[in-house]
Structure 1
Amino acid sequence: MTETYKVVDIQEDMDNPEDLGTKEKFWYRYNNQKWLFKKSRPLTGEHWSEKVAEQLCQQLGIPHAKYELARYQGDIGITSLSIIEDRGKWRMTLGNQLLMMEDSSYPGEKKGRFVRVKEHTVYKVLGILDSAKTHNQPPVWPGLPDSLDAAGVFVGYLLLDAHISNQDRHHENWAILLNGETGEQFLCPSYDHASSLGCTEPDKKRLARLTTKDKGYNVEAYVSKATCALYKSKSDAKPLKTIEAFRLASRQRPKAARYWLEQLKILDKDRIRNILAKVPDEVTTLAAMQFAEKMILENRRGLLCALN
Structure 2
Amino acid sequence: MFETWDVSHWSLIRQETIGADEKYWLAHPTDGQPWLFKANNIHENAAGSWSQREDFAEKLGGELATAMGIPCARIEFARRDDELGCISLNLCPEGWELQTGVVVLDGLLEDYEPGYTARNRVRRGHSLENIRWALEGYGPPPGADVPSNFDAFDVFAGYVVFDAMVANRDRHDENWAVMRPPPGSGRPTLAGSFDHARALGSTLREAKITALLQEEGVPKWCYRGTAWRFEHDPEHGCPTLVDIASRALRMVAPAVRDHWLGGVADITTTKVASLTSRIPDMSVVVSTFIEQVVTTNRRRVLDGC
Fold shared by both chains (TM-score > 0.5): yes
Equivalence for 1:27: 25
- On the 8 A contact 2:113/2:124 being kept in 1, the answer is no
Q: Which blocks of at least 5 consecutive residues in structure 1 are unaligned?
A: none
Equivalence for 1:125: 131
Equivalence for 1:164: 166
Corresponding residue SS for 2:41: coil
Instruction: Determine whether 1:277 maps to 2:277.
Output: yes
Distance in 2, matches of 1:116 and 1:190, equals: 23
Equivalence for 1:9: 6
User: Post-superposition shift, 1:115?
Assistant: 7.1
Deviation string, structure 1 residues 43-94 (Cα, Å, up to 9, x no partner): 21100110000000111111001110111111111101111231xx200111
**Mapping of 1:232-243 within 5 angstroms?**
233=232, 238-243=237-242
Distance in 2, matches of 1:158 and 1:109, equals: 17
Q: 196, 208, 213: which one pairs with 2:211?
A: 208
Distance in 1, matches of 2:173 and 2:53, equals: 23
User: Post-superposition shift, 1:224?
Assistant: 0.6
**Mapping of 1:1-308 within 5 angstroms?**
4-10=1-7, 11-30=9-28, 31=30, 32-42=32-42, 43-86=51-94, 89-108=95-114, 116-130=122-136, 133-138=137-142, 140-142=143-145, 144-182=146-184, 184-212=187-215, 218-231=217-230, 233=232, 238-255=237-254, 256-281=256-281, 284-306=282-304
- On the 8 A contact 1:232/1:240 being kept in 2, the answer is no
Tell me how large the CA RMSD over aligned residues is. Answer: 2.0
Distance in 1, matches of 2:91 and 2:151, equals: 20
The count of aligned residue pairs is: 292
Read off the aligned partner of 1:45 and give its amino acid letter: R
User: Post-superposition shift, 1:306?
Assistant: 4.0
Corresponding residue SS for 1:184: coil
* Cα distance change of structure 1 residues 277 and 115 upon mapping to structure 2, 3 Å threshold: farther
Distance in 2, matches of 1:136 and 1:147, equals: 9
* Cα distance change of structure 1 residues 110 and 44 upon mapping to structure 2, 3 Å threshold: closer
Corresponding residue SS for 1:301: helix
- On the 8 A contact 2:14/2:25 being kept in 1, the answer is yes
Corresponding residue SS for 1:280: coil
- On the 8 A contact 2:115/2:123 being kept in 1, the answer is no
TM-score by length of 1: 0.89
Greater alpha carbon shift after TM alignment, 162-171 vs 97-106? 97-106
Corresponding residue SS for 1:15: strand
TM-score by length of 2: 0.90
User: Post-superposition shift, 1:118?
Assistant: 2.5
Corresponding residue SS for 2:172: coil
User: Post-superposition shift, 1:181?
Assistant: 2.9
Distance in 2, matches of 1:112 and 1:263, equals: 37
Distance in 2, matches of 1:34 and 1:99, equals: 27
Read off the aligned partner of 2:218 and give its amino acid letter: V
* Cα distance change of structure 1 residues 232 and 26 upon mapping to structure 2, 3 Å threshold: closer
- On the 8 A contact 1:90/1:180 being kept in 2, the answer is yes
User: Post-superposition shift, 1:240?
Assistant: 2.7
Corresponding residue SS for 2:158: helix
Corresponding residue SS for 2:179: strand
Read off the aligned partner of 2:23 and give its amino acid letter: K
Instruction: State the identity %.
Output: 26
Read off the aligned partner of 2:139 and give its amino acid letter: H
- On the 8 A contact 1:115/1:168 being kept in 2, the answer is no
Read off the aligned partner of 1:6 and give its amino acid letter: E
Distance in 1, matches of 2:40 and 2:121, equals: 20
